Structure 1
């Protein structure tokens, strides 16, 4: 059992390209004591837009039903770009285990994004385990996150 940072369910969503990886990560979450809110998609056969599923994840976070979310699409790019449109989302697209702890420690990322086409399932599980068990650091990193929260288009 890993150290859990939340008792709320983990929201998870994918487009059609990540259905198999989503199923595997849902099983991992359940085996490690996490509740799961499945925000879709459920079929590899019907092409869907990753943006729609990133919006579902953002809605779960905004409503406070989840503290963390996992988004999956082919490359991960569209899921991350869409999710980061919201000021309460700090989505990070990760490819390696080594990226997971700093994403949480330094950026307090609350959405893990994975590319189903470029991430081996076993690696994805290890990234998820590290992501969900690594706390954000304080000091200069907390100051950086506070500054990030204050940014908006008028800062340009």
Structure 2
């Protein structure tokens, strides 16, 4: 059991390529005391667009129903690119647990993105555990996050 970073449900979604990993991580979350909001898909054989599921996760964060989200697609790229179109989202595509630390400490990432085609189950669980066990730092990092949220200059 890890120290819980939030009491709200963690929203999770995947495209067809991420369904299996989504199931594994959902089980891990529940086994570690987290409630989970499953935003789809559950069908690994019917092709769907990762963008649609990233938008489901964005909606959960925007409505404050979740503080954190997990998006999974083949490479992770489309989930991250879509989510980061919104100023309140800080989606981070991670490949190692070590990357989780600065993503959370410095960037206060609120969405973990994984590539199901490039991340094995054990690595994904390790990344998730580290992500959820790393608090955001304050001071200059908090000021940077506030500045980031206000970016809309072009």
Q: What residue number does 1:125 align with?
A: 125
Q: What residue number does 2:20 align with?
A: 20
Q: What residue number does 1:93 align with?
A: 93
Q: Which runs of 5+ in 2 are unaligned?
A: none
User: Can you list the C-alpha shifts for 1:3-38, whole angstroms capped at 9, x where unaligned?
Assistant: 111000000000000000000000000000000000
TM-score by length of 1: 0.97
User: Can you list the C-alpha shifts for 1:73-109, whole angstroms capped at 9, x where unaligned?
Assistant: 0000000000111111100000011100110000000
Q: What residue number does 2:70 align with?
A: 70
Q: What residue number does 2:5 align with?
A: 5
Pairing 1:131-142 to 2, within 5 Å after superposition: 131-142=131-142
User: Can you list the C-alpha shifts for 1:102-145, whole angstroms capped at 9, x where unaligned?
Assistant: 10000000000000000011010011011111110011111111
Number of equivalent positions: 154
TM-score by length of 2: 0.98
**Inter-partner Cα distance in structure 2 for 1:100 and 1:36:** 20
User: Can you list the C-alpha shifts for 1:50-95, whole angstroms capped at 9, x where unaligned?
Assistant: 0000000001001111000000000000000001111111000000
**Inter-partner Cα distance in structure 1 for 2:60 and 2:142:** 24
**Inter-partner Cα distance in structure 1 for 2:147 and 2:36:** 31
**Inter-partner Cα distance in structure 2 for 1:135 and 1:99:** 14
Aligned residues: CA RMSD: 0.6
Could you tell me whether the CA contact under 8 Å between 2:12 and 2:71 is conserved in 1?
yes
Q: What residue number does 1:108 align with?
A: 108
Q: Which runs of 5+ in 1 are unaligned?
A: none
Q: What residue number does 2:33 align with?
A: 33
